[in-house]
């Protein structure tokens, strides 16, 4: 989900294939050349119970606090945790068995989350 079309596809997948009774926690980070409000709207972040904004581990990363401000401007409940691994750890700590955690955005976020997950579980 590294562009608006991918974000919209991720939203459809979350809505159609991962409907559940629990909360939806989204961990999201993107590159600075992306428009954060458009991406947040495309991915349906307003439908999340919590968005955890992080920064991809790459030189072109959008700072997590910039993404957090964009989410806040849309009325989205947001926590800002710059490090992807720390953001994922926070999501896992908050989630219970009925909740779903979605890691979205840059491929650099996905890779860092995958690596961090192996250390967290």
- The per-residue pLDDT for range 70-118, each reduced to its tens digit, is 999 999 999 999 999 999 999 999 999 999 999 999 999 999 999 999 9
Task: Return the pLDDT at 113.
Answer: 96
Give 11-63 pLDDT, tens digit per residue.
888 888 877 789 999 999 999 999 999 999 999 999 999 999 999 999 999 99
> What is the DSSP annotation of 49-74?
SEEEE---SSTTBPPHHHHHHHHHHT
Question: What is the length of the chain?
Answer: 121
- Measured between alpha carbons, how far is residue 114 from residues 19, 98, 120 in Å? 23, 21, 10
Which residues lie below 8 Å from residue 35, measured CB to CB, with a gap of 6+?
Answer: none
Among residues 62, 121, 46, 71, the alpha carbon closest in space to that of 91 is found at 121
Task: Return the pLDDT at 17.
Answer: 84
What is the arrangement of strands in the sheet containing 50-53, beginning at the earlier edge strand?
78-80, 50-53, 24-29, 100-105
Only one residue has tokens 């989900």, namely: 1
Task: Return the pLDDT at 93.
Answer: 97
Structure tokens at 45: 């972040």
Task: Return the pLDDT at 73.
Answer: 97
If pLDDT is split at 50, 70 and 90, which confidence band does 7 have? confident
């Amino acid at each position: 989900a590294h562009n608006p079309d991918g974000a919209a596809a991720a939203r459809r997948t979350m809505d159609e294939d991962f409907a559940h009774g629990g909360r939806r926690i989204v961990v999201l980070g993107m590159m600075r050349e992306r428009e954060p409000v458009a991406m947040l709207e495309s991915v349906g972040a307003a439908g999340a119970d919590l968005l955890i904004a992080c920064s991809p581990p790459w030189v072109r990363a959008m700072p997590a606090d910039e993404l957090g401000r964009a989410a806040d401007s849309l009325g989205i409940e947001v926590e800002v945790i710059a490090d992807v691994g720390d953001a994922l750890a926070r999501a896992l700590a908050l989630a219970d068995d009925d909740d779903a955690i979605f890691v979205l955005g840059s491929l650099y976020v996905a890779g860092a989350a995958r690596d961090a997950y192996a250390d967290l579980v």
